Amino acid sequence: MRIGELAERTGTSRRLLRYYEEQGLITPQRCANGYRAYGEEFVDRVQQIRGLLDAGLPTRIIREILPCLNRPRDIHFTDATPEMLALLERERDAMTRRIELLTRNRDAIGAYLAAVRDR
């Protein structure tokens, strides 16, 4: 697929997709005419990148952990610093707190809807 279709399917602008490429987060194939060609797997990859960015991770960390999202047992970090590991632990813990909050909010909305429908 071309960049426009990937942008549409992921809700990500073409400009952001080009930025992800510049940062080494995605690497599309190039057609003979120079156009970018993206496989189906890029839809999930872009959504993963967006989620990690939304969680507050910088692109330099995302670039290092993206391979773990596919095959965690095959990944060996030779340059994982204690600071990077601490950052990832903090981000993981923050994500857990957000998930718990979202779960409570979802349950509260569900209870509200049930109460309104019972009337």
Assign 74 a pLDDT band (cuts: 50, 70, 90): low
Q: Is 95 in the same domain as 45?
A: no
Domain that residue 105 falls in: 81-119
Mean of pLDDT values over 86-91: 86
Q: How many domains does the chain have?
A: 2
pTM of the model: 0.68
Q: Is 44 in the same domain as 88?
A: no
Q: Is 69 in the same domain as 110?
A: no
Q: Is 50 in the same domain as 105?
A: no
64 contact partners, CB below 8 Å, separation of at least 6: 77, 80, 84
CA distance 5 to 112: 38
CA distance 18 to 105: 35
Q: Is 24 in the same domain as 40?
A: yes
For residue 80, the model assigns a pLDDT of: 75
Q: Is 27 in the same domain as 70?
A: yes
For residue 73, the model assigns a pLDDT of: 52
